[in-house]
Amino acid sequence: MLNFDEQRFLRIQSGAVALRERLDRVIADCLAAGAENIHFLGTGGAAILMQPAAQLLLRQSRFPVFFDMPAELVLTGSANLNGKSIVVIPSLSGTTRESVALLAKAKEAGAMVITLVGHEETPIGKGGDHVFVNFAEDDTSCESFYLQSLFIALSIMRHRGEIENYNQIAGELDRLPALLLEVKRAYEPKAEAFARVLAGAEYHIITGAGNVWPQAFYYGMCILEEMQWIRTRPVHASDF
């Protein structure tokens, strides 16, 4: 696969899987401490990647879940953000400005803050009550955040008695990194033709429905946007 390091991909996604048991323990502790709701509060692409987990809880659990934009919540506040809240803040860099401000807001409210980062020595990496670090870069971060947020949602349902086959699902998700690599390999023949179409197109319309909507949103906002930046940015001698 072009410019794709298979072992690096497996290492990063397996790193996310390795966080599952600790995530489960932290969620159990938060619920035992009286947590009454959960807020998924990411910025940009990291926010989009939290949507499947939030949707799972909205549809399959009675545990209240909130999904807000950090910049707005910092300004407006929320009656539902308090000392009985679990707040999940994802940030690959650990320095996202809006999320750093939100972290301070959540701590002020006394919330139980879980941060998911790629770099520990950062404001968000150091600021959470429970910090989960899995090094990744932009091209490998989406699967990592998907997995971690789904583990959180599934754990809430498990400890509330709202899911009967948690162990089965967790076991299947443990196998996901290797399975995703197989999917990537199988898609490679189509990928080149698809890339040629994208490269020759003047504009793109991205559509998605149901459970693929967040992925379509993420692809259009983050992946294609980055590709366009690469195609149009000035070339410097330092690039070679």
53-107: pLDDT as tens digits: 999 999 999 999 999 999 999 999 999 999 999 999 999 999 999 999 999 999 9
Residue 3: predicted pLDDT: 77
The predicted model gives 43-59 an average pLDDT of 93
What is the model's pTM? 0.87
pLDDT tens string 199-210: 888 887 888 888
> Is pLDDT above 80 for 49?
yes
- Greatest pairwise CA separation for the chain in angstroms: 59
Using CA atoms, how far apart are residues 1 and 192, in angstroms rounded to an integer? Answer: 10
Tell me 222's DSSP state: I
Report, at the CATH architecture level, how domain 6-174 is classified. 3-Layer(aba) Sandwich (3.40)
Q: Is the CB of residue 72 less than 8 Å from the CB of residue 78?
A: no
Least confidently predicted of 106-110, 158-162, 234-238 = 234-238
Cβ neighbour number for residue 32 with a 10 Å cutoff: 9
Residue 237 carries which DSSP code?
Answer: G
Beta-carbon count within 10 A of 176 CB: 18
Please, what is the end-to-end C-alpha distance for the chain in angstroms?
Answer: 22
Write down the pLDDT at residue 235.
40
Among 161, 138, 176, smallest CA distance to 20 is for 176
* Confidence band for 231, pLDDT divided at 50, 70 and 90: very low
Matching residue, tokens 């090094």: 135
Parse the chain into domains and list their residue ranges: 6-174, 177-234
- Token reading at 58: 């909205």
Of the listed ranges 50-59, 88-97, 113-122, 183-192, the least confidently predicted one is: 183-192
User: CA-CA distances (angstroms) from residue 220 to 68, 206, 226?
Assistant: 20, 6, 10
